[in-house]
Amino acid sequence: MPKDDYFRIVYRILNTLYEYMRKGLTANPDAISAKVLGIEYGYRNQVLMNLLEDGYIKGVRVVSYFGGETASGYMAIEDINDIAITTRGMEYLKDNAMMKNVYQFLKGVKEIIPGV
């Protein structure tokens, strides 16, 4: 599986946010940084925008810029310090068959290669 596979990234972000919530902690934005995910900053932000628009995360401050790359402008992430998973995001983790497959794959890799 490619290192930057979109659904793998979605799973890692949602699962990380869920683990913080489950422990009663505020999510650390650094835990889902582009560097930690091993992807480009702009790609990570596009994934976060998609998750926000789909209702899987909340607490992301977005700013709209007009006169940008298109006639209508564009939107950019300004702040993710209050990022959290939503109930819909938790349901996605639980119900999405592709995510279950990724989880099983990663769980198998972790059993084979300690420290992963």
| pLDDT by 10-residue block (mean), the chain, 116 residues | 76 94 95 94 92 95 68 72 95 78 74 65
For residue 53, give both structure tokens.
Answer: 């628009």
Could you report the per-residue pLDDT of 40-63, keeping only the tens digit for each? Answer: 998 999 999 999 999 999 999 888
Question: What pLDDT is recorded for position 73?
Answer: 54
pTM equals 0.75
Tell me which CATH code domain 6-107 carries: 1.10.10.10
Element (H, E) at 77: strand 74-79
What is the torsional sign of CA 106, 83, 62, 30?
A: negative
CA 57, chain centre distance (Å)? 8
Alpha-helical segments (H) within 24-113 = 34-37, 41-53, 87-95, 97-112
